[in-house]
Structure 1
Amino acid sequence: MTEVEMDDLSKKRQAVDADDAAEHPTSGPNITSDADDQVVAYWAWATAALLSTLSLLLILFPRFVLFLSETGEVDRRPNMTSLEAFLLLHTGILLGAIAIAVIFNIPQPSVALSEARPQGPQGHPLLGPLSGACTLIAFLSYNMRSVGSLAFMVCIGAAIIGVWGLWAVMFAGSSYISRKTGADKRTSRFLFGNKAAASVQKKQWKEQLRSKFA
C-alpha cells in the first residue's frame, strides 16, 4: 500500500469519526471537571481550617507558641518579648485573611450557580481579605509603641496596602459597567426592547438566583 493510499484511508476515517460525533453529540455534565472541583474544594476547606486554627492560636494564645519553642529548663521563659508578641499578632491576622480568601474562592461545581454569579470585572482573590487585614494591622501598629519605630513602619506600609485595596474594592473599574451583571449601564430597553440592556440583564440575574435558591 502506497503512502498516498494510507493518507486517503486516514482522511476517510477522520471524516467518519466526525460524522459520528455530529450525529451522536455527547451531552451532560463533565464528570472529570466536577471531580477535580471537589478535590480542590476539600483541599481548600482543609487548608482554611488549618490556617484558621493557627491564626487563632497566634492571636489568642501566643504564649502557647513560646511553650512549644522551649527546648529545656534553661530556655524556659515566663513572658514573651514585645517584639515576639507584635510579630505573632500580625502573623495571625495575615493567616486569618488568607484563610478567608481560600474559603471565598472555593470552586462551585454547580453550573447554574456559576452562571448566576456577577459577570463583571474580576478582582484579585486576596484583594478584599488582605486589604481588611492590613487596615486592622495599621490600626493596631499605630497604637503599639512598645517596639519602637518598627510599629510606625509597619503602620505606614499596612495602611498603604489596606486603604489602596479598599479603594480598589469600592471604586475600581468603570462606572458604566454593572458590578452585578457586567452589563453596560448606558444601554436601555426603551422603545426597542433591547435584551442586552443593563436593566433586563439585572432582572434575569435576580430570577436565576431566585430559581436556584427557591
Structure 2
Amino acid sequence: MDVFYAFSYGSAGWLALQSAPLICSPTIILALLSPEVREPTVLETYFSRSLGMALLTLAILVVLLTGSVPLTSSISDTTNARVTTEASDPKAPYAVPTLTISTVYHAACAFYCYTRFSTSGQTTFVLGTTGSAALAAIGLWCILFATSSGRISRKTGADKRTSAFPFENKEAASAKKREMEKST
C-alpha cells in the first residue's frame, strides 16, 4: 500500500508543482514556451490562472478521494485507519475510480507533452513527459497490483488467479496433488 500512498501524494505534488507558476506568474510560462518574449494578454493570463486553480483542485481531490487523508469525525476512527483500495472500504469508496482517472490523465499528459516535444523540440516538454509518464506508470502498477488483496486459496495457499501460461504453477499443482493423496 506504500506505492499507493506514493502515487497519491506524488500525483498531488506534481499537479501542485505545475499549478504554481500558472497561478503566480503566467509570464514565466509564456517566456518558456513562446519564441518571442512578450507580456501575456488578459485572456492568456485568465486561462493560465484558471488552469492553475483547476490543477490545484485536482491535486486536492486526488489526495482526499483516494483516502490518503482520513476524513473521519472521531479520533478513535483515525488511529486505526488503514486505507485499502477495496470498493467496500468506507474510508475510501472512490479510491479505485480516482486512481484510474488520475492515471489516465497522467498518461494523456505524457503523450501530449511527448508529441509537443517531437514537433517543437523544446526541452520544457521533456520535463512534463518525464513526470507524467512516471506517475502514469506508477498508477498503472497500482491498478494492476494494489487494487485487490489477491485470491488466496484456503486449501493450497496459492493464488487462484495464476494460470499455466506461459509458465506452469508447480506450487499449486503440487499442493493439489497432496490434497488428492490426503483424501484417498
- What is the TM-score with the length of structure 2 in the denominator? 0.38
RCO greater where, 1 or 2, for CA within 8 Å and sep 6 or more?
Answer: 2
| Structure number, greater radius of gyration | 1
